[in-house]
Amino acid sequence: MTLNYVLLWFVIPVSILAIFRLMRYAGMRAEILLQVLILAVTGAMLVALPEVAGYAGFALLAVNSFIPALVVRPMQRAVFEQDFAKARRWAVWLSRIHPTPAARSYPRLFEAMELSQKGDLAGAAEILAPYRSSRAPLARNATAHLFRMQGDWAGLLEWIRTEGIEPDKHPGIVAHYLRALGETGQLNELAAAYQRWLAVLEKTPDNLNLARLVVFGFGGRKGPLQNLFCGKMGRYPAAVQQFWLATAEMAGGDREAAVNRLQGLQSTDHMVQMAAQRRLANPPPVAMEIMTPETRRIIADAEQHGVDQAQYGATSLRSHRKAYATLALMLVNLAVFCAETANGGSETTETIFRMGGLWPPAVLAGEWWRVAAANFLHFGPLHLGMNMFALFLLGPFVEKTLGARKYLVAYLGSGIGSMIIILVAARLGWMENELVAGASGAIMGIVGATGAILLRARNSRVAAQRLRSVVLIIALQVVFDQTTPNISAMGHAGGAVVGFALGLLLATRPPVRN
C-alpha cells in the first residue's frame, strides 16, 4: 500500500459525496462541475499514469476545496462576529483563489452589510437591489437581508411566499423566514415551520443554530438561549447576545428585565441599535399566553436536541485537546515507532518480529505477549500516520462518553481481541500465517464502540444520524480491505465486533426520553 493508493481512495469518495451534497441546493452548478472535473482528471490519470493518479487528484481537490477552506473558515468567523469589514477582506481573497459565481458575489454582499452597520442604509440598498431579480441562493440571502435591514418582516414573509422559495434548495432562507414569523407575533407558526424544516436545517449546523436561537428567543426560553451562547454562537458580539436575551425575557414575561437590558445595550452597530429600538417599541407577545401544546412540545424537543448535540454530536478541536487518554495512546504509538526506527527500521520484517509483531506460530509456541505488543507496532510512517489520524478523529468522542478508564478498556480490549481472532483464524486454516502489526484493530474497535454508544441512544435524532455515518465508515472500510493487498480484513472486522460488544457493556444507558 502506497501513499498514492491511499490518496486515490480518499479523493474518489470525497468528490462523489460532495457532488451528492451539492445537488441538494440550487445554484451550485459551477461547484458540481468542478467536482466532476476532479473525478474525470483523476480517472484519466488512473488509466494513463496510475502511479501518480492519487497525487494528481489530491492536488486538484486541495486547490478546489482545502485551500479555499483556509479562507472560508476565518471569513465565516468574521461573519459570526458581525465584523463584515474583515469578512469582506477575506471574501476578496476567496474570489481570487476560487472564482465561482458565488465567491465573486461575497465581497459586494459583505460591503452592503458593512454599510448597513454604519447606518448607510441607502448605500447598502443600492448594492443589494440588483439581487432582487436573481434566483441564486446568495442573491436570495441578499434580498432577505434587504428586508431585514428595513425592518420589513411582513414584506419578507410576503416575498418568500410569493416567490415560492423552497427551503430545501435555499436553507439559508429558513432562519430569515422563522425570524419574520417571530417578529410578526406568529409563534405557533414559527414552531411549526421549524419542525417542518428541521431535516433541512440539520444539514448545515450554522443554520440550525440560527433557527434554534430564533425559536428560543421568541419562545421565552432564556436558559437554552444562554446555552447556545456558551457554544459556537458565543462568537456573536455581546450586544447581539444581549438583544436576544432581552427578546427571550420579553417573551418569557419578564418585561422589566428586558427593558433594562435593551436600554443598557451599547453598540456601534447601527443595525443592532435599530433592532433594539424596534424591540422596545414592539415587544413580542408573552409565549405562554399564546403557545399551543404542540408548540410547547416542539420547543422542548429543540432544547433536547441541543443537549443531544453536545452529547452525541461531533467533538470540537477544543475537546480533542482534553482527550488525554487518546493523546497518551498516540504518544505511546509514536514512541514505539521511534524505537522501531532506532532498532533496525520500521519497515524491516525482522525488526517488527523481534519487537513483538503477531506471528501465529510464535504465539502458539507460548509467546502470548505478542497479542498486546503487536498493537503498538507499525510498518512504516504511512501506516502509523493513517492510524494516528484516525485515532485522533474517532477517539475523543468515545473517551468523552465512556470516561478515560473505560475507553482504554475498549481500545486495548479491541486490539487484543482482533489479534486473537487473527490467531484463531490462522490456527483453523481460514487464512495464511502472516506477520501482523498495527493499531488498526483497536481503532476499528473504537468505531464499533461508537456504533454501540449511538445505538443505545438511537431515539435521539443526533445519535441516529451519526450512527448512519458510522455504518458508512464500516462499509467503506470493508470495500477498502477487500481491494487492498497486505491488509488484515479479519483483524479489522474482529476489532469492530469486539469494540461493539465492549461498547454495549461499558456505555451507560441513556435516560428514558419523555
Q: What is the DSSP string of 124-149?
A: HHHHHGGGGG--SHHHHHHHHHHHHH
Alpha carbons 256 and 266: distance in angstroms, whole number: 18
| pLDDT for res 18 | 86
pLDDT of residue 26: 63
User: Consecutive sets of 10 residues in the chain, 514 residues long: mean pLDDT of each?
Assistant: 84 88 74 90 92 92 87 87 89 88 85 88 87 73 84 90 76 87 95 91 85 95 92 86 95 94 88 91 94 95 86 71 91 96 90 94 94 94 90 92 94 96 90 90 94 88 85 80 73 92 86 50
Axis-axis angle for helices 380-402, 489-506 (nearest 10):
10
Burial class (CB in 10 A: 0-12, 13-18, 19+), 409: middle
Q: What are phi and psi of 33, to 5 degrees?
A: -60, -35
CA distances in angstroms from 238 to 113, 233, 419, listed in the order given:
18, 11, 54
Q: Which domains does the chain carry? A: 3-65 (no CATH), 151-312 (no CATH), 317-506 (1.20.1540.10)
**CB atoms inside a 10 Å sphere around CB 301:** 16
The SS3 of residue 192 is helix
H/E stretch holding 274: helix 270-281
At residue 82, the 3 state secondary structure works out as: coil
Three-state DSSP class for 314?
coil
Residue 435 confidence (pLDDT): 92
Contact 240, 82 (CB under 8 A): yes
CB 77 within 8 A of CB 106: no
Q: How far apart are alpha carbons 380 and 3 in whole angstroms?
A: 11
Helix axes 380-402, 324-342, angle to 10 degrees: 160
Question: Which residues have CB under 8 Å from 24's CB, separation 6+?
Answer: 168, 169, 203
Q: Identify the CA nearest to 96 among candidates 75, 122, 125.
A: 75
Burial of 202 by CB count in 10 Å (0-12 exposed, 13-18 middle, 19+ buried)?
middle
Three-class SS of residue 178? helix
Does the model's pTM come out above 0.95?
no
* CA-wise closest residue to 151 among 243, 272, 251: 272
Q: How far is CA 112 from CA 118, 142, 145, 238, 459, in A?
A: 10, 9, 9, 22, 44
Q: What is the dihedral of CA 374, 377, 382, 386, to 10 degrees?
A: 60
Per-residue pLDDT at 511: 55
In this structure, what C-alpha cell is assigned to residue 408? Answer: 482504554
